[in-house]
Structure 1
Amino acid sequence: MSQAVVVPTDKLSITKKQQGCYVFSRDQLTAISATIQKHIGKLPTVTIELMNERSITSDNIDELLKDPFIESSRISSISYSVFEYNIPNRVSVRLRETWMAPVSYEISGERNVCLALEQSITSVIGASKKWYTWINVHNYPGLLQMAIVFPLAAGVGILVALPFSKAGDAKPPGIFFFVFAALIFGIPWASGKVIPKTVFNFGRGRIVYERISSPPKWFFSAIILGLLATFFRDEILTAIKSFF
Protein backbone atom coordinates (compact mmCIF):
# COMPACT_ATOMS: atom_id res chain seq x y z
CA MET A 1 0.00 0.00 0.00
CA SER A 2 1.52 3.27 -1.07
CA GLN A 3 1.62 6.28 1.20
CA ALA A 4 1.50 9.89 0.18
CA VAL A 5 4.68 11.73 0.87
CA VAL A 6 4.01 15.09 2.43
CA VAL A 7 6.48 17.65 1.14
CA PRO A 8 6.69 20.74 3.35
CA THR A 9 5.86 23.95 1.56
CA ASP A 10 8.77 26.33 1.14
CA LYS A 11 8.58 29.21 3.58
CA LEU A 12 9.76 32.72 2.98
CA SER A 13 10.09 35.89 5.01
CA ILE A 14 10.45 39.32 3.39
CA THR A 15 11.24 42.56 5.21
CA LYS A 16 11.78 45.73 3.21
CA LYS A 17 11.81 49.50 3.53
CA GLN A 18 11.37 51.86 0.60
CA GLN A 19 12.52 55.44 0.21
CA GLY A 20 10.77 58.00 -1.94
CA CYS A 21 8.05 60.64 -1.92
CA TYR A 22 4.49 59.35 -2.14
CA VAL A 23 1.01 60.80 -2.45
CA PHE A 24 -1.78 58.42 -1.48
CA SER A 25 -5.43 58.90 -2.36
CA ARG A 26 -8.36 57.09 -0.76
CA ASP A 27 -8.62 54.81 -3.81
CA GLN A 28 -4.96 53.84 -3.61
CA LEU A 29 -5.22 53.02 0.09
CA THR A 30 -8.29 50.89 -0.62
CA ALA A 31 -6.38 49.14 -3.41
CA ILE A 32 -3.66 48.09 -0.95
CA SER A 33 -6.29 46.49 1.29
CA ALA A 34 -7.87 44.70 -1.68
CA THR A 35 -4.47 43.45 -2.85
CA ILE A 36 -3.73 41.91 0.54
CA GLN A 37 -7.16 40.26 0.64
CA LYS A 38 -6.65 38.84 -2.85
CA HIS A 39 -3.41 37.07 -1.92
CA ILE A 40 -3.99 36.24 1.75
CA GLY A 41 -7.71 35.51 1.59
CA LYS A 42 -8.64 37.86 4.42
CA LEU A 43 -9.20 41.58 4.76
CA PRO A 44 -6.37 43.20 6.71
CA THR A 45 -6.91 45.11 9.91
CA VAL A 46 -6.21 48.76 9.15
CA THR A 47 -5.03 51.21 11.80
CA ILE A 48 -4.85 54.95 11.15
CA GLU A 49 -2.76 56.99 13.56
CA LEU A 50 -3.47 60.71 13.69
CA MET A 51 -1.30 63.68 14.59
CA ASN A 52 -3.52 64.42 17.60
CA GLU A 53 -2.35 61.15 19.20
CA ARG A 54 -5.55 59.30 18.38
CA SER A 55 -5.88 56.12 16.37
CA ILE A 56 -8.79 54.34 14.72
CA THR A 57 -8.89 50.68 13.67
CA SER A 58 -11.15 48.58 11.46
CA ASP A 59 -11.04 45.90 8.78
CA ASN A 60 -13.42 48.01 6.67
CA ILE A 61 -11.10 50.59 5.16
CA ASP A 62 -13.89 52.34 3.24
CA GLU A 63 -15.70 53.18 6.46
CA LEU A 64 -12.43 54.00 8.19
CA LEU A 65 -11.50 56.61 5.59
CA LYS A 66 -14.87 58.31 6.09
CA ASP A 67 -14.32 58.76 9.83
CA PRO A 68 -14.85 62.39 10.96
CA PHE A 69 -11.43 62.40 12.65
CA ILE A 70 -9.82 62.14 9.20
CA GLU A 71 -11.23 65.54 8.26
CA SER A 72 -10.10 67.28 11.43
CA SER A 73 -6.60 65.90 11.94
CA ARG A 74 -3.66 64.96 9.73
CA ILE A 75 -2.69 61.32 9.40
CA SER A 76 0.73 60.30 10.71
CA SER A 77 0.62 56.66 9.58
CA ILE A 78 -1.58 53.92 8.14
CA SER A 79 -0.87 50.26 8.90
CA TYR A 80 -2.30 47.08 7.35
CA SER A 81 -1.87 43.74 9.06
CA VAL A 82 -2.98 40.12 8.86
CA PHE A 83 -1.63 38.03 11.76
CA GLU A 84 -3.76 35.03 12.69
CA TYR A 85 -2.76 31.56 13.83
CA ASN A 86 -5.18 29.81 11.47
CA ILE A 87 -3.77 31.62 8.42
CA PRO A 88 -0.35 30.42 7.19
CA ASN A 89 0.58 33.71 5.54
CA ARG A 90 1.12 36.97 7.38
CA VAL A 91 1.63 40.51 6.22
CA SER A 92 2.24 43.94 7.68
CA VAL A 93 2.41 47.14 5.61
CA ARG A 94 3.04 50.59 7.04
CA LEU A 95 2.87 54.00 5.36
CA ARG A 96 3.96 56.95 7.48
CA GLU A 97 5.04 60.56 7.51
CA THR A 98 8.72 60.50 8.38
CA TRP A 99 12.16 61.68 7.29
CA MET A 100 13.21 58.03 7.16
CA ALA A 101 11.77 55.26 4.96
CA PRO A 102 8.06 56.11 4.50
CA VAL A 103 7.05 52.65 3.25
CA SER A 104 7.84 49.39 5.01
CA TYR A 105 6.40 45.90 4.85
CA GLU A 106 6.89 42.42 6.25
CA ILE A 107 5.53 39.32 4.54
CA SER A 108 5.96 35.75 5.71
CA GLY A 109 4.47 32.39 4.82
CA GLU A 110 4.31 30.25 1.70
CA ARG A 111 7.00 31.21 -0.77
CA ASN A 112 4.80 31.64 -3.85
CA VAL A 113 2.21 33.66 -1.95
CA CYS A 114 4.86 35.94 -0.44
CA LEU A 115 6.54 36.65 -3.77
CA ALA A 116 3.26 37.32 -5.55
CA LEU A 117 2.01 39.58 -2.76
CA GLU A 118 5.26 41.53 -2.63
CA GLN A 119 5.14 42.14 -6.37
CA SER A 120 1.53 43.32 -6.19
CA ILE A 121 2.09 45.58 -3.18
CA THR A 122 5.20 47.09 -4.76
CA SER A 123 3.22 47.79 -7.93
CA VAL A 124 0.28 49.40 -6.11
CA ILE A 125 2.45 51.54 -3.84
CA GLY A 126 4.84 52.39 -6.68
CA ALA A 127 1.98 54.03 -8.56
CA SER A 128 1.86 56.64 -5.78
CA LYS A 129 5.55 57.52 -6.01
CA LYS A 130 6.21 61.01 -7.37
CA TRP A 131 8.80 62.33 -9.80
CA TYR A 132 10.15 64.87 -7.30
CA THR A 133 11.50 62.11 -5.05
CA TRP A 134 15.05 63.13 -6.02
CA ILE A 135 14.60 66.66 -4.59
CA ASN A 136 14.20 65.47 -0.99
CA VAL A 137 17.74 64.87 0.29
CA HIS A 138 16.45 62.46 2.94
CA ASN A 139 15.90 59.90 0.18
CA TYR A 140 19.66 59.50 -0.23
CA PRO A 141 22.13 57.55 1.95
CA GLY A 142 23.89 59.55 4.67
CA LEU A 143 27.20 60.05 2.87
CA LEU A 144 25.46 61.10 -0.34
CA GLN A 145 23.32 63.55 1.63
CA MET A 146 26.50 65.20 2.91
CA ALA A 147 27.97 65.20 -0.60
CA ILE A 148 24.92 67.17 -1.76
CA VAL A 149 24.36 69.49 1.20
CA PHE A 150 27.96 70.46 2.04
CA PRO A 151 28.89 71.88 -1.41
CA LEU A 152 25.58 73.77 -1.61
CA ALA A 153 26.07 75.25 1.86
CA ALA A 154 29.70 76.13 1.11
CA GLY A 155 28.80 77.74 -2.22
CA VAL A 156 26.09 79.94 -0.72
CA GLY A 157 28.37 80.80 2.20
CA ILE A 158 31.07 81.99 -0.20
CA LEU A 159 28.58 84.05 -2.22
CA VAL A 160 27.30 85.75 0.92
CA ALA A 161 30.75 86.38 2.42
CA LEU A 162 32.39 87.57 -0.82
CA PRO A 163 30.92 91.12 -0.81
CA PHE A 164 32.28 91.69 2.69
CA SER A 165 35.72 90.52 1.58
CA LYS A 166 35.74 92.92 -1.37
CA ALA A 167 34.72 95.75 0.93
CA GLY A 168 37.77 95.10 3.10
CA ASP A 169 35.74 93.79 6.00
CA ALA A 170 37.75 91.63 8.38
CA LYS A 171 34.89 89.28 9.19
CA PRO A 172 34.06 87.32 6.02
CA PRO A 173 35.29 83.98 7.51
CA GLY A 174 32.84 84.35 10.40
CA ILE A 175 30.02 85.20 8.02
CA PHE A 176 30.89 82.22 5.83
CA PHE A 177 30.83 79.76 8.72
CA PHE A 178 27.58 81.23 10.05
CA VAL A 179 25.83 80.77 6.70
CA PHE A 180 27.48 77.38 6.15
CA ALA A 181 26.37 76.03 9.54
CA ALA A 182 22.84 77.41 9.10
CA LEU A 183 22.44 75.74 5.71
CA ILE A 184 23.90 72.42 6.84
CA PHE A 185 20.84 72.08 9.05
CA GLY A 186 18.49 74.29 7.06
CA ILE A 187 18.67 72.50 3.70
CA PRO A 188 17.63 69.06 5.05
CA TRP A 189 14.93 70.65 7.21
CA ALA A 190 13.51 72.68 4.31
CA SER A 191 13.76 69.67 2.00
CA GLY A 192 11.58 67.60 4.32
CA LYS A 193 9.06 70.39 4.84
CA VAL A 194 8.71 71.55 1.23
CA ILE A 195 8.81 68.04 -0.27
CA PRO A 196 7.37 65.68 2.38
CA LYS A 197 7.91 61.98 1.89
CA THR A 198 4.31 60.97 2.49
CA VAL A 199 1.11 62.88 1.78
CA PHE A 200 -2.39 61.51 2.25
CA ASN A 201 -4.40 63.43 -0.31
CA PHE A 202 -7.67 63.80 1.57
CA GLY A 203 -8.90 65.43 4.75
CA ARG A 204 -6.29 67.73 6.27
CA GLY A 205 -3.61 66.15 4.09
CA ARG A 206 -5.11 67.82 1.02
CA ILE A 207 -3.65 71.14 2.19
CA VAL A 208 -0.15 69.68 2.02
CA TYR A 209 -0.88 68.11 -1.36
CA GLU A 210 -2.05 71.39 -2.86
CA ARG A 211 1.15 73.04 -1.67
CA ILE A 212 3.43 70.64 -3.51
CA SER A 213 1.27 69.62 -6.47
CA SER A 214 2.11 72.52 -8.76
CA PRO A 215 5.81 72.79 -9.76
CA PRO A 216 5.20 76.10 -11.63
CA LYS A 217 4.33 77.66 -8.28
CA TRP A 218 7.77 76.67 -6.99
CA PHE A 219 9.40 78.19 -10.06
CA PHE A 220 7.65 81.54 -9.79
CA SER A 221 8.09 81.59 -6.02
CA ALA A 222 11.84 81.11 -6.51
CA ILE A 223 11.90 84.01 -9.00
CA ILE A 224 10.02 86.27 -6.58
CA LEU A 225 12.33 85.35 -3.70
CA GLY A 226 15.35 85.97 -5.93
CA LEU A 227 14.04 89.40 -6.94
CA LEU A 228 13.31 90.31 -3.32
CA ALA A 229 16.77 89.16 -2.26
CA THR A 230 18.33 91.28 -5.00
CA PHE A 231 16.21 94.33 -4.17
CA PHE A 232 16.93 94.12 -0.44
CA ARG A 233 20.51 92.92 -0.87
CA ASP A 234 22.10 95.71 1.14
CA GLU A 235 19.62 95.35 4.00
CA ILE A 236 20.16 91.58 4.12
CA LEU A 237 23.94 91.96 4.15
CA THR A 238 23.70 94.61 6.88
CA ALA A 239 21.49 92.33 8.98
CA ILE A 240 23.94 89.44 8.59
CA LYS A 241 26.89 91.69 9.37
CA SER A 242 25.22 92.86 12.59
CA PHE A 243 25.58 89.36 14.02
CA PHE A 244 29.36 89.60 13.92
Structure 2
Amino acid sequence: MTSALSHPLVSAYLRDLELLLHGVEPGERAEVLAGVHEHLDASLAPAAADDDVRQSLAELGSPQSVADEAYAGRSPSVVVAPAPPRRPGAMSRTWVPVTAGILIGVALCLVLLAVGAGSGYSTTSISSSDSGSQGFPEEVTLFSSSPAALITGLLFSWPLWVSAAVIVGISPLWTSRQKWTLQLLTPVSAIALWALPTLGWTLTHAELGINSGAWAGLFLTIVGGGFLLLRTCRAGTRQAKALESGTL
Protein backbone atom coordinates (compact mmCIF):
# COMPACT_ATOMS: atom_id res chain seq x y z
CA MET A 1 0.00 0.00 0.00
CA THR A 2 1.32 3.35 -0.98
CA SER A 3 1.89 5.84 1.86
CA ALA A 4 0.59 9.38 1.64
CA LEU A 5 4.15 10.60 2.21
CA SER A 6 5.11 9.31 -1.23
CA HIS A 7 2.65 11.64 -2.97
CA PRO A 8 4.51 14.03 -5.30
CA LEU A 9 3.06 17.13 -3.60
CA VAL A 10 4.04 15.81 -0.15
CA SER A 11 7.54 14.83 -1.34
CA ALA A 12 8.12 18.31 -2.78
CA TYR A 13 6.83 19.91 0.43
CA LEU A 14 9.13 17.82 2.63
CA ARG A 15 12.12 18.40 0.37
CA ASP A 16 11.64 22.20 0.53
CA LEU A 17 11.15 22.05 4.30
CA GLU A 18 14.34 20.06 4.86
CA LEU A 19 16.32 22.59 2.85
CA LEU A 20 14.89 25.47 4.87
CA LEU A 21 15.71 23.71 8.16
CA HIS A 22 19.42 23.23 7.40
CA GLY A 23 20.41 25.80 10.03
CA VAL A 24 18.41 24.21 12.86
CA GLU A 25 20.03 21.78 15.30
CA PRO A 26 19.71 18.15 14.09
CA GLY A 27 17.57 17.06 17.05
CA GLU A 28 15.15 19.95 16.69
CA ARG A 29 15.02 19.48 12.92
CA ALA A 30 14.11 15.81 13.38
CA GLU A 31 11.31 16.79 15.77
CA VAL A 32 9.83 19.27 13.29
CA LEU A 33 9.92 16.76 10.43
CA ALA A 34 8.44 14.03 12.65
CA GLY A 35 5.55 16.32 13.55
CA VAL A 36 4.87 17.03 9.88
CA HIS A 37 4.97 13.32 9.04
CA GLU A 38 2.56 12.55 11.88
CA HIS A 39 0.09 15.20 10.74
CA LEU A 40 0.16 13.97 7.15
CA ASP A 41 -0.21 10.31 8.15
CA ALA A 42 -3.21 11.15 10.33
CA SER A 43 -4.97 13.43 7.85
CA LEU A 44 -4.35 11.65 4.55
CA ALA A 45 -5.29 8.25 3.29
CA PRO A 46 -2.65 6.25 1.41
CA ALA A 47 -4.29 7.02 -1.96
CA ALA A 48 -5.49 10.53 -1.16
CA ALA A 49 -6.58 12.79 -3.98
CA ASP A 50 -4.58 15.84 -4.94
CA ASP A 51 -7.17 18.20 -3.46
CA ASP A 52 -7.04 16.38 -0.12
CA VAL A 53 -3.25 16.59 -0.13
CA ARG A 54 -3.31 20.31 -0.86
CA GLN A 55 -5.82 20.88 1.95
CA SER A 56 -3.71 18.93 4.44
CA LEU A 57 -0.56 20.82 3.44
CA ALA A 58 -2.44 24.13 3.71
CA GLU A 59 -3.34 23.24 7.28
CA LEU A 60 0.36 22.83 8.03
CA GLY A 61 1.29 26.09 6.37
CA SER A 62 3.97 26.77 3.80
CA PRO A 63 7.43 25.23 4.28
CA GLN A 64 8.77 28.73 4.92
CA SER A 65 6.26 29.39 7.74
CA VAL A 66 7.04 26.04 9.39
CA ALA A 67 10.79 26.76 9.14
CA ASP A 68 10.30 30.25 10.57
CA GLU A 69 8.52 28.79 13.58
CA ALA A 70 11.35 26.29 14.07
CA TYR A 71 13.97 29.03 13.94
CA ALA A 72 11.95 31.22 16.29
CA GLY A 73 11.83 28.42 18.82
CA ARG A 74 15.58 27.83 18.91
CA SER A 75 17.24 27.91 22.30
CA PRO A 76 19.40 31.01 22.97
CA SER A 77 22.19 28.66 24.01
CA VAL A 78 22.85 27.73 20.39
CA VAL A 79 23.81 31.31 19.55
CA VAL A 80 27.57 31.56 19.77
CA ALA A 81 28.75 34.92 21.07
CA PRO A 82 31.80 36.38 19.34
CA ALA A 83 34.99 35.99 21.29
CA PRO A 84 36.29 39.24 22.80
CA PRO A 85 39.37 40.66 21.07
CA ARG A 86 42.59 39.45 22.64
CA ARG A 87 44.61 42.19 24.26
CA PRO A 88 48.14 42.36 22.80
CA GLY A 89 51.08 41.57 25.05
CA ALA A 90 53.25 44.17 26.71
CA MET A 91 55.95 43.92 24.02
CA SER A 92 53.37 44.54 21.28
CA ARG A 93 52.34 48.00 22.47
CA THR A 94 53.16 51.35 20.89
CA TRP A 95 55.61 52.23 23.68
CA VAL A 96 58.05 49.61 22.37
CA PRO A 97 59.05 51.29 19.05
CA VAL A 98 59.03 54.72 20.70
CA THR A 99 61.38 53.59 23.45
CA ALA A 100 63.67 51.72 21.08
CA GLY A 101 63.84 54.72 18.74
CA ILE A 102 64.79 57.12 21.56
CA LEU A 103 67.49 54.80 22.94
CA ILE A 104 69.08 54.21 19.54
CA GLY A 105 68.85 57.89 18.59
CA VAL A 106 70.69 58.98 21.77
CA ALA A 107 73.24 56.20 21.26
CA LEU A 108 73.98 57.48 17.76
CA CYS A 109 74.54 60.99 19.12
CA LEU A 110 76.99 59.70 21.74
CA VAL A 111 78.88 57.70 19.11
CA LEU A 112 79.06 60.76 16.87
CA LEU A 113 80.50 62.92 19.66
CA ALA A 114 82.96 60.32 20.98
CA VAL A 115 84.38 59.21 17.64
CA GLY A 116 84.50 62.77 16.34
CA ALA A 117 86.34 64.02 19.44
CA GLY A 118 88.94 61.26 19.16
CA SER A 119 89.74 61.82 15.48
CA GLY A 120 91.77 64.51 13.71
CA TYR A 121 94.68 65.24 11.47
CA SER A 122 97.54 67.75 11.28
CA THR A 123 99.80 69.24 8.63
CA THR A 124 103.40 70.42 8.78
CA SER A 125 105.20 73.16 6.88
CA ILE A 126 108.82 73.57 5.88
CA SER A 127 110.97 76.59 4.97
CA SER A 128 112.27 76.82 1.41
CA SER A 129 115.79 78.23 0.98
CA ASP A 130 114.87 79.36 -2.51
CA SER A 131 112.14 81.67 -1.28
CA GLY A 132 113.63 83.11 1.85
CA SER A 133 112.08 82.18 5.17
CA GLN A 134 108.51 81.77 3.89
CA GLY A 135 106.90 78.45 4.88
CA PHE A 136 104.99 76.23 2.54
CA PRO A 137 102.51 73.59 3.77
CA GLU A 138 103.41 70.04 3.01
CA GLU A 139 100.96 67.24 2.40
CA VAL A 140 99.27 65.86 5.45
CA THR A 141 101.80 64.01 7.59
CA LEU A 142 99.73 62.91 10.58
CA PHE A 143 96.24 61.51 10.99
CA SER A 144 95.19 60.82 14.57
CA SER A 145 92.27 58.43 14.44
CA SER A 146 93.06 55.38 16.52
CA PRO A 147 90.81 52.44 17.37
CA ALA A 148 90.54 54.00 20.83
CA ALA A 149 88.08 56.55 19.42
CA LEU A 150 85.88 53.75 18.09
CA ILE A 151 86.06 51.81 21.34
CA THR A 152 85.28 54.93 23.37
CA GLY A 153 82.20 55.66 21.27
CA LEU A 154 80.90 52.12 21.66
CA LEU A 155 81.58 52.09 25.41
CA PHE A 156 79.76 55.38 25.92
CA SER A 157 76.72 54.23 24.00
CA TRP A 158 76.51 50.50 24.73
CA PRO A 159 74.01 50.67 27.66
CA LEU A 160 71.56 52.43 25.35
CA TRP A 161 71.88 50.45 22.15
CA VAL A 162 72.21 47.09 23.92
CA SER A 163 69.02 47.82 25.88
CA ALA A 164 67.29 48.78 22.65
CA ALA A 165 68.58 45.62 20.96
CA VAL A 166 67.09 43.46 23.72
CA ILE A 167 63.71 45.23 23.51
CA VAL A 168 63.63 44.89 19.73
CA GLY A 169 64.73 41.26 19.85
CA ILE A 170 61.90 40.08 22.12
CA SER A 171 59.17 42.20 20.54
CA PRO A 172 56.98 40.67 17.79
CA LEU A 173 56.43 44.02 16.07
CA TRP A 174 59.23 43.68 13.52
CA THR A 175 60.43 41.19 10.97
CA SER A 176 63.84 39.56 11.37
CA ARG A 177 65.35 41.95 8.83
CA GLN A 178 63.95 44.99 10.62
CA LYS A 179 65.25 43.72 13.96
CA TRP A 180 68.77 43.30 12.57
CA THR A 181 68.60 46.81 11.15
CA LEU A 182 67.80 48.35 14.53
CA GLN A 183 70.22 46.17 16.50
CA LEU A 184 73.24 46.84 14.25
CA LEU A 185 72.55 50.49 13.44
CA THR A 186 74.65 51.96 16.27
CA PRO A 187 77.80 49.80 15.97
CA VAL A 188 77.81 50.01 12.18
CA SER A 189 77.50 53.80 12.35
CA ALA A 190 80.41 53.96 14.81
CA ILE A 191 82.58 51.85 12.51
CA ALA A 192 81.66 54.03 9.51
CA LEU A 193 82.54 57.23 11.38
CA TRP A 194 85.94 55.84 12.31
CA ALA A 195 86.83 53.82 9.21
CA LEU A 196 85.84 56.14 6.35
CA PRO A 197 88.25 59.00 7.21
CA THR A 198 90.98 56.40 7.75
CA LEU A 199 90.22 54.89 4.37
CA GLY A 200 90.32 58.29 2.73
CA TRP A 201 93.75 58.97 4.26
CA THR A 202 95.03 55.56 3.18
CA LEU A 203 93.94 56.11 -0.42
CA THR A 204 95.03 59.74 -0.88
CA HIS A 205 97.40 60.79 1.93
CA ALA A 206 95.78 64.19 1.58
CA GLU A 207 93.32 66.42 3.42
CA LEU A 208 90.73 65.91 0.68
CA GLY A 209 90.59 62.17 1.27
CA ILE A 210 90.28 62.60 5.05
CA ASN A 211 87.58 65.24 4.80
CA SER A 212 85.68 63.29 2.16
CA GLY A 213 85.68 60.18 4.35
CA ALA A 214 84.62 62.19 7.40
CA TRP A 215 81.71 63.83 5.58
CA ALA A 216 80.68 60.47 4.14
CA GLY A 217 80.62 58.99 7.67
CA LEU A 218 78.56 61.91 8.96
CA PHE A 219 76.11 61.60 6.08
CA LEU A 220 75.68 57.86 6.57
CA THR A 221 75.18 58.26 10.30
CA ILE A 222 72.89 61.28 10.40
CA VAL A 223 70.93 60.95 7.17
CA GLY A 224 71.12 57.23 6.43
CA GLY A 225 70.93 56.05 10.03
CA GLY A 226 68.22 58.54 10.89
CA PHE A 227 66.13 57.46 7.90
CA LEU A 228 66.43 53.76 8.74
CA LEU A 229 65.65 54.41 12.40
CA LEU A 230 62.58 56.51 11.63
CA ARG A 231 61.27 54.14 8.98
CA THR A 232 61.70 50.98 11.06
CA CYS A 233 60.22 52.50 14.21
CA ARG A 234 57.22 53.73 12.23
CA ALA A 235 56.70 50.22 10.90
CA GLY A 236 56.71 48.90 14.46
CA THR A 237 54.24 51.57 15.57
CA ARG A 238 51.84 50.71 12.74
CA GLN A 239 52.05 47.03 13.66
CA ALA A 240 51.36 47.81 17.32
CA LYS A 241 48.32 49.96 16.48
CA ALA A 242 46.96 47.23 14.21
CA LEU A 243 47.29 44.67 17.02
CA GLU A 244 45.62 46.97 19.54
CA SER A 245 42.70 47.69 17.21
CA GLY A 246 42.21 43.99 16.46
CA THR A 247 42.75 44.28 12.71
CA LEU A 248 45.54 41.68 12.87
TM-score (norm 1): 0.28
Point out the structure with max Rg over C-alpha: 2
Higher relative contact order (CA 8 A, sep 6+): 1
Identify, as 1 or 2, the structure richer in strand. 1
Identify, as 1 or 2, the structure richer in helix. 2
